[in-house]
Structure 1
Amino acid sequence: MKLKSWLLGSIMLYSGWVSAQDSTGEKESGHLSVHGNVDLYYKNVFHGLQGPTTSFTGKNRGFELGMASLQLAYQYKKTGVVVDLGFGPRARDFAYTDEGIMAAVKQAYVYYEPIQGLKFSAGSWATHIGYELLDPALNANYSMSYLFSTGPFSNTGVKVEYVKGSHHLMAGISNPTDYRHVPDSVLNNKTIIARYSYEKENGLVLALNYSGGKQVDTANVQQLDAVLSLPVSSAISLGWNGSIVFRKKKVSEASDNGNDWRHWWGQAVYLKAQLNAKLQLAVREEYFTDKDAISVIPLGGNVWSSTATLSYREGPFTFMPELRWDHFSHPYGGNAHQGQVSGLMAVTYQF
């Protein structure tokens, strides 16, 4: 109830501020837009490992709210602000380093665009790395890949972006990965982020991404990531995401024959087929290997995952039945099972 009152009060206060600005008689006023989405799911594990394997779909045999999101964006001339809030288990897991009301902040940043195509931003925003997005209404599959689940999730700092035709460049500096607030008791070095993308209006996207720096546990993490989206026809598109992470051991960890660096890598292929005006079939095939057990999903081996999702859309409403199969090269998480077969039904609504 306190959270609801706080959110309602904030929106009313913001709306009042906008109205007050308009009442001053200024000839030019800003533009406020409001967007959001809600999702929920029911998951059932038919065979094998009963626990979660990737992010956000950990509840088995129960109806579960994923996330309720509300995004406010206000733009005035060359400046703007975005506040993106999320409530529910998905938002809480996304902001796992935050506590209390801060866990509801998905994104919060201000920007300044002095000339067309050049933008400076400061604040906190979702990661530029990877193919999938946090909001399930924006993905073709409801469950997440291993590549997404191993992160990063967000960056907090400053960045500059430059767009020229189909070319997009971004570079920035941020706190250690996923930390909006860095506690005084841990290392507070900075992470360098960068991106180059080539994007066409027909849906063709080629992106090269980078993130690197020392983390709060003193480990040095360097990630290279690539994304390709290719329209095959008006009804079929292909996507690919590949990522490799190099991790230098923490100060407290002993060296192994002088080799302090370990790595994990993975890749996923995405197929989307528009069957008719309301039906879409999405298939994801992923291979992820972490033989050194250094990722947040310490496999100690590799996993092959296949996911098929059918989406029925009726305006802003989408119903998503999904089947998924995961096979591990070694028993996962100390469990005797080396695989999982699961299914889920999800609903998303955008506004």
Structure 2
Amino acid sequence: MKTITITKIVKKVIFTAVLLVGFTGFSQEEEEPAQKFSLSGSVDAYYRANINSANKTIPDGSGGEIFIAPPTSFANANGFALGMANVIASYEGEKVGFVADLVFGPRGEEAVFGSPVGSTNIVNQLYVYWKVSEVVTLTFGNFNTYLGYEVISPTGNFNYSTSYMFSNGPFSHAGLKADFAIDDNWSAMLSVMNPTDLTADNPESLYTYGAQLGYSTDASSAYLNFLYGKQELGAENTFQVDLTAGSDITDDFYLGFNGTYADTDGDGFYGLALYPQYKTSEAFAIGLRGEYFTVFADGADDDSVFAATLTGSYAVGSLTFKPELRIDSFENEIIPNADLDDVQKSLASFTLAAIYSF
């Protein structure tokens, strides 16, 4: 009888303990907030070679040496070369948060070229934000530009090399912006900022103003962007209007678009690009960037280029390989030939990039 009683008591104790453990686990699951701090980033390297021009440096006209490469940002070295290491620390609270985005390496150095001369600045982005309400979010600090289709990080672009519109437009801004979630589809943004790419300070106390109107659904999006203000002392105001759009035509086929126009007292540029991309499997996709770009001076076209970039993307876990064939066709003869004894209108080049994201 004693044995039976003790057994019953033990069973009751165990049953009660199981209930308590289950209840505690359930309560923690319900009450414990999602992880707010995160660490992410990427590492990339590449190989690049010209097909119809010399693979060596040439004088740049100012006492230095440059590689023969497309005159766009990033990935312009010969042979095996480095991109950058990108480390992003962020904290997302219920109302407030921050992003600290650090870059190391050639691509990173070129991205933060607006830092003070002699600076060892490695800051790509550094900002705090406050979700004032469900509708309004304020961002204060240094953030990458809202204009254009492409971004600084290679993980955010399908093509590894970058476009002329991206290379000639803003990279980053420092200032205050307000984002408005108008409804489930419509959004807007207003900002006051330092001159373009002056992200560490504002030595001349000049300011630039920005605006954006956006519309997005689950399958497509479009953003109309504006920028206006003085970029340097003694210059006229710069005005830029930019449209980016993209849509999933099918489950496997995506089409993107970017068009831009920038003018500073009759000098500036305009261009447009299409970005068709087709996913053949979970691991592989292929995409084309076809871009037309023109620089003008004193209100008249000065030079133009058509660039076609065909890129493959093969993913092995978190590592992505991107073989890329690019042909730049210029209006004028500006590219040295293979023997460096003449100039030509086109440059064909091949790039193989490896990008690891975490």
TM-score range, shorter chain: 0.7 to 0.9
Q: How does 1:161-240 map to 2 (within 5 A)?
A: 161-163=179-181, 164-182=183-201, 184=203, 187-202=204-219, 204-219=220-235, 220-240=237-257
Matched, 1:156 2:161: no
Partners in 1 of 2:177 and 2:344 — Cα distance? 44
Shift of 1:51: 3.4
3-state secondary structure, aligned to 1:90: helix
Q: Which amino acid aligns with 2:304?
A: N
Residues 199 and 29 of structure 1: is their aligned pair in 2 closer, same or farther, counting only changes over 3 Å?
closer
Q: Which has the larger radius of gyration?
A: 2
Task: Check the 8 A contact 1:188/1:215 in 2, yes or no.
Answer: no
Aligned-residue RMSD, C-alpha: 2.1
Deviation readout 1:152-186 (Å, 9 max, x if unpaired): 001100010011211111101000000013464xx
- Whole-Å separation in 2 of the counterparts to 1:274 and 1:177: 36
Map Cα deviations across residues 98-142 of structure 1 (whole Å, 9 max, x no partner): 156653101000011121131011000000000011111121100
Which of 109, 125, 146 is the aligned partner of 1:107?
125
Distance in 1 (CA, whole Å) between partners of 2:124 and 2:243 is: 23
Letter of the 1:84 counterpart:
D
Mapping of residues 78-157 of structure 1, within 5 Å: 78-99=95-116, 103-157=121-175
Does the aligned pair in 1 maintain the 2:224–2:242 contact within 8 Å?
Answer: yes
- Report whether the alignment pairs 1:37 with 2:42: yes
Aligned equivalents of 2:35, 2:52: Cα separation in 1? 54
* Kept in 1: contact 2:256–2:276 (CA 8 A): yes
Name the amino acid aligned to 2:247.
Answer: L
TM-score normalized with structure 2 length: 0.81
1:331 positional shift: 2.6
Aligned-residue offset at 1:75: 2.4
Residues 195, 202 of structure 2: 8 Å contact kept: no
Letter in 2 for 1:336: V
Asked whether the equivalents of residues 29 and 76 of structure 1 are also in contact (C-alpha less than 8 Å), the reply is: no
Give the letter aligned to residue 113 of structure 2. Y
Distance in 2 separating the partners of 1:183 and 1:137: 30
The one-letter code matched in structure 2 to 1:329 is: E
Which residue number corresponds to residue 17 of structure 2? none
Contact kept, 8 Å, 2:206 with 2:233, in 1: the verdict is no
What is the CA-CA distance between 1:77 and the residue it aligns to?
2.7
**1:238 touches 1:271 (CA, 8 Å); kept in 2?**
yes
Count of aligned positions: 305
- The equivalent residue for 2:286 is 281
Q: Which moved more, 1:332-341 or 1:121-130?
A: 332-341
What are the superposed Cα offsets for residues 192-247 of structure 1, whole Å, 9 maximum, x if unpaired? 01111111122x01110011101124322110000110111000010110000111
Q: Note if 1:347 corresponds to 2:354.
A: yes
Q: What is the correspondence of 1:267-278 to structure 2 with a 5 Å cutoff?
A: 267-278=272-283
Residue identity opposite 2:103 in structure 1:
G
Amino acid at match of 2:346: G
What amino acid is aligned across from residue 164 of structure 2 in structure 1? Answer: Y
- Tell me the equivalent position of 1:53: 71
Quickly say closer, same or farther: Cα 1:29–1:266, change in 2 above 3 A.
closer
SS of match in other structure, 2:297: coil
Q: 1:303–1:327: 8 Å Cα contact kept in structure 2? A: yes
CA contact (8 A) 1:318 1:347 kept: yes
In 2, the alpha carbon distance for the partners of 1:179 and 1:82 equals: 18
Pick closer, same or farther for the CA change 1:302–1:169 going to 2, 3 Å.
same
Note the 1:244-323 alignment, pairs <5 A.
Answer: 244-248=261-265, 261-292=266-297, 300-323=302-325
Q: What amino acid maps onto 2:90 in structure 1? A: A
Can you give the 5+ residue segments of structure 1 that lack an aligned partner in the other structure? 1-26, 249-260
Per-residue deviation, 1:333: 7.7
Query: Structure 2 vs 1, CA of residues 317 and 108 (structure 1 numbering), >3 Å: closer, same or farther?
Result: same
Among 345, 348, 351, the alignment partner of 1:338 is: 345
Distance in 2 separating the partners of 1:327 and 1:57: 18
Cross-structure match for 2:16? none
